[in-house]
């Protein structure tokens, strides 16, 4: 392949990302983890599936960073996942230290890469990656809204018994309990779901979306979701690698957009060759704006506690 994607963290999310990138022939993959043998074993296993899956992507697993040199995209999934009863915010300190150490190693070897951050709490982790890499803001982006919107779309499609392909969903804000799904911008074949469903069902789907991650954590008990998070991260990588300019909800660095300053938070962006090429601003009702501001406050308080710890 003429593109290279490095995936840091060869756990549940990272391995699924590697598999999807390779099977879609988006790029060669370098899979990195601290656990000896884990990335090597998973990369080899995936490579051995290539003849059956009929792809020619090369996969390398390693515990060091040399092979990542010159990556087009680095997807960071390393860190601890949630257990039942934990919020994404509970992962803050541990994952911030892991993120800092990884970015310090990966950024100098791939100075032109776009960083896609998956590790939670993702909005705060984007700050750590941004500060540590010193990359321009368009080259640091967090995976959040693509997953939240996918969950919302899956629930809408199940509720109305229609194809997921006919659905669109719009989610703003931080990737957590304060996220702001916007039903009036969420549609089936262009028709807002508010016209297709009674208010109490819309509210129920919004609530299920907000707790979509926790629902999986409670079922799995030993970790958090990974198939849908990996699919979401790879959709972002696809749009960047192929310069497709898809408009996707992602954690992006805001400098005044939506009245929010110097904060990574989920907004619709255009993703292309240069990463976050544009931030799309839509008009919000007073209620929606208040919900977004509340979500921004929650993200800001995480970032401030990281700053106090010097991370």
Chain residues in the site for ligand APR (CB under 6 A): 8-14, 32-35, 38, 77-79, 81-82, 91, 95, 98, 101-102, 118-120, 223-224, 226, 229
**Residue 127: active-site member:** no
Structure token pair of residue 145: 């809204």
Catalytic residue from among 127, 168, 175, 261: 175
Give the bridge partners for 172, in sequence order. Answer: 180
H/E element holding 141? Answer: strand 140-142
Burial 195-205 (b: 16+ CB within 10 A, else e): ebbeeeebeeb
Of 127, 63, 67, 66, the residue nearest 95 (C-alpha): 127
Q: Are strands 73-76 and 4-8 parallel, antiparallel or unpaired?
A: parallel
Which bin fits 134, alpha (ψ -120 to 50), beta or left (φ > 0)? left
Measured from the CB atom, the residue of 15 and 193 that comes closer to ligand APR is 15
Of 263, 27, 289, 243, the residue nearest 140 (C-alpha): 263
Shortest Cβ distance from residue 225 to ligand APR (Å)?
Answer: 7
H/E element holding 59? Answer: strand 59-62
Shortest Cβ distance from residue 148 to ligand APR (Å)?
Answer: 12
Shortest Cβ distance from residue 239 to ligand APR (Å)?
Answer: 19
Measured from the CB atom, the residue of 79 and 249 that comes closer to ligand APR is 79
Cβ neighbours for 155, distance < 8 A, ≥ 6 positions apart: 205, 208, 209
Measured from the CB atom, the residue of 14 and 275 that comes closer to ligand APR is 14
Measured from the CB atom, the residue of 284 and 303 that comes closer to ligand APR is 303
Measured from the CB atom, the residue of 28 and 33 that comes closer to ligand APR is 33
CA distance 179 to 156: 17
CA distance 103 to 115: 9
Shortest Cβ distance from residue 245 to ligand APR (Å)?
Answer: 26
Structure token pair of residue 307: 């700053």
Which position's Cβ is nearest ligand APR? Answer: 11
Shortest Cβ distance from residue 211 to ligand APR (Å)?
Answer: 15
Measured from the CB atom, the residue of 192 and 223 that comes closer to ligand APR is 223
**What are residue 29's phi and psi, to 5 degrees?**
-125, 135
Which active-site residues does the annotation give? 175
């Amino acid at each position: 392949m003429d593109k290279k994607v490095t995936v840091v963290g060869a756990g549940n999310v990272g391995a699924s990302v590697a598999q999807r990138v390779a099977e879609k022939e988006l790029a060669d993959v370098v899979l990195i983890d601290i656990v000896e043998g884990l990335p090597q074993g998973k990369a080899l296993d995936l490579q051995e599936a290539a003849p059956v899956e009929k792809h020619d992507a090369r996969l390398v697993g390693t515990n060091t960073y040399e092979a990542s040199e010159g990556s087009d995209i680095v997807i960071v999934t390393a860190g601890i996942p949630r257990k039942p009863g934990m919020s994404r915010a509970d992962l803050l300190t541990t994952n911030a230290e892991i993120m800092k150490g990884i970015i310090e190693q990966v950024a100098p070897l791939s100075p032109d890469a776009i960083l896609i951050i998956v590790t939670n709490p993702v909005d705060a982790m984007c700050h750590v990656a941004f500060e540590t890499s010193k990359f321009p803001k368009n080259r640091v982006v967090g995976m959040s809204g693509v997953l939240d919107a996918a969950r919302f779309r899956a629930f809408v499609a199940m509720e109305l018994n229609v194809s997921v392909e006919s659905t669109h969903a719009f989610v703003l804000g931080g990737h957590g309990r304060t996220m702001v799904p916007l039903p009036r911008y969420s549609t089936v074949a262009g028709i807002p779901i508010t016209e297709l469903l009674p208010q109490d069902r819309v509210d129920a789907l919004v609530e299920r979306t907000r707790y979509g991650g926790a629902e999986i954590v409670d079922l799995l008990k030993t970790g958090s979701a990974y198939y849908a998070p990996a699919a979401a991260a790879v959709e972002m990588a696809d749009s960047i690698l192929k310069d497709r300019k898809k408009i996707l909800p992602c954690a992006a660095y805001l400098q005044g957009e939506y009245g929010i300053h110097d904060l990574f938070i989920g907004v619709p962006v255009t993703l292309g060759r240069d990463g976050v090429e544009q931030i799309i601003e839509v008009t919000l009702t007073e209620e929606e704006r208040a919900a977004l501001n509340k979500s921004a406050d929650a993200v800001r308080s995480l970032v401030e506690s990281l700053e106090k710890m010097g991370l």
